[in-house]
Structure 1
Amino acid sequence: MKLSRFLLVLGMLPFVKSQAIEVAPGDFEPLPAGANALLIYYQHADRSDLYQNGHKVSDNSKLSTDIGILRYVHAIGLSENLSWEPQLLVPFGQINASGDIGSLGDTRGIGDPIITAPLKWTLPTANKDVFALAPYLYFPVGSYDKNDALNLGENRWRATLQAAYIHHFSEQWALDTVAEASWVSANNDFGSTGAKLEENTRYEYQTALRYNWTPSTTFAVGGATSLARRPQWTVSISTTASPPLMGVLLSRTSSSPRCRFRPKSARISRSNKASRKAHA
């Protein structure tokens, strides 16, 4: 499919949570050298089930999210089979809690900006499989108030490394697989008491099976899992037209994803000598 040198996409994709970067199907396909991409993603999601220590404790813990991401990409061809794609992502939106968790209130603003620069190798396989490495760095300048239970910013540095492999079965069928590890610094101003929040390294795995129905329309079904939560599945349809290239990406999350307001791997220190394990 031919791409214009400027790409604009307006769509919906799985919510980019603070714990993991959920990859849109086909996101690691290399762009042509010199291409510029400006993308706007949007998702509305409603959640109602609250789990504690792996057990469902409420089905009326309503969490509504409207999240967008502004993303800019520039593709640089380093060689015939290797591309480098520096990117900037700025999350924004609002979160509202109601029902059994209404006391959490709501929040709006911007999330922590993210920079990344994936390296993508087109391999000499029969259908030109792709291998990619993508480092991400989050800057802790998003909206954050220690007195608010809900925040879009994390008030801590985060670094993530993703490794991706795309296997092309044919021109129409492809399987995306992505593994990642994420590390965070401590949040030394967590909660109204200004406690210290720490979190262990987090590991995530994502996969998606794609079918290119036409050069401008793709269907995909995929899922994600980690050591801290059950698998979650998404269904997406993306359409594009060229030139100029315009697109819409639609996705739907699982109907009742679990609400967790703090990772199970998080630790809160009330003082330098006292700490406890926190379970959301």
Structure 2
Amino acid sequence: MPRALSPLLRRSAGLLPLLAALLSPSAQALDVDAGDYTALPAGTTLGLVYAQHASRDKLYAAGDKLPGRNGLDSDIGILRGVRYMEIGGKIVDPQFLLPFGKLKGKDDLSVLGSNSGVGDLILAATVWFNKPSDTTHFGITPFLILPTGQYDRNDPLSLGENRWRFVLQSGFITPVTDKLTLDLIGDVTVFGKNSDFGPAGQTLKQKPQVQLQSYLRYAVVPGGDLRLGWSHTSGGETRVDGVDRNDRLSSQKVQFGGSYFVRPTTQLTLTLGRDLSVRQGFKEESRVNLRLLQVF
């Protein structure tokens, strides 16, 4: 272990291999943007590009903040394609998401260096139980995350996880007033095992993880809104070669932003956010998300 790491981090040597699972873009909870669970007419195609920058300056283990200046930056992009169609009288949207980007250690963790590459491919398809013309929307989405991303068991900053994941998510959107809309999203993630985990090639298993998300959107102008979001993630405790790690997740975050159709078929969304509390892993000091959506 490099001497530049803080003493407590050196004593918690097993934490470093877990950085790969905590920090890879596909390992993060499946955040959605407000409005994502709006059913669109069959035949609609969307192309989306995401740019996300996050800065972290605190590291936690089992609820305790580790001493030192433990920083990490991430710059992640996502390419996403969505196609809406009608199957059996219901709107369905097969889609893919491909993350890519760079992770870089800072301050006491600068010894980790940096790494860039492609993350794990995500395949999904929402099934809606309403018509696009309805004001209230409800859908269920199964996600399958494939172990296709860049992974090196000796590199805690790998962007892939070397394991399968399955996520079942549901979303609900309803108007509160003429201008105010409520979004509610919940999901559970089930993890496959990584049998080549850490320098010793151990077996990593993880318990299911749950996430709850909510948004309030206020229509400021036609085609434009302001939004406030909150998210809570819990569960996901890991076990390495049968030994529990006591690393259950419990985190809350908040974000604020807005969205606007700069053209009838082009939408820009900007959100700023940060973690409010973290039990395990890095605490985000700031996050900037920019999304470009094009309707075809």
TM-score by length of 2: 0.77
Residue 252 of structure 1, aligned match among 272, 280, 284:
272
Match of 1:107, SS?
A: strand
Query: Within the alignment, does 1:230 sit opposite 2:251 as a pair?
Result: yes
Aligned-residue offset at 1:258: 4.8
Give, as a single letter, the amino acid of the residue that structure 1 aligns with 2:175.
H
Q: How far does residue 59 in structure 1 lie from its aligned partner after superposition?
A: 5.9
Where has structure 1 moved over 6 Å in runs of 4 or more? Answer: none
| 1:37 maps to which of 39, 43, 46 | 46
| Amino acid of the structure 1 residue aligned with 2:62 | N
CA contact (8 A) 1:72 1:88 kept: yes
> Cα 1:260–1:49, aligned 2, differ >3 Å: closer, same or farther?
same
Q: 1:73 aligns with which of 77, 82, 107?
A: 82
Conserved? CA contact 1:172–1:212, under 8 Å: yes
Find the counterpart in structure 2 of residue 119 from structure 1.
127
Name whichever structure is richer in helix by fraction. 2
Is residue 48–residue 259 contact of structure 1 (8 Å, CA) maintained in 2? no
Cα displacement (A) at 1:19: 3.8
Residue 240 of structure 1: aligned partner: 261
On the 8 A contact 1:123/1:131 being kept in 2, the answer is: no
Matches for 1:1-280 after TM superposition, within 5 Å? 18-58=27-67, 60-78=69-87, 82-122=90-130, 128-227=135-234, 228-243=249-264, 245-254=265-274, 258=278, 260-261=280-281
Q: CA RMSD in A?
A: 2.3
Question: What runs of 5+ residues in structure 1 fail to find an aligned partner?
Answer: 1-14, 263-280
Gaps of 5+ in 2: 1-23, 235-248, 283-296
CA distance in 2, matches of 1:153, 1:55: 27
For 1:220-252, what per-residue CA distance to the aligned partner results, in whole angstroms no more than 9, with x for missing partners?
A: 101110222221001121111343x11211111
SS of equivalent residue, structure 1 residue 229: strand
Task: Please tell me the residue identity of whatever aligns with 2:254.
Answer: W
SS of aligned partner of 1:22:
coil
What does the per-residue CA deviation read over 1:59-80, in whole Å, with 9 as the maximum and x for residues that have no partner?
Answer: 6211100001000000013477
Percent identical: 32
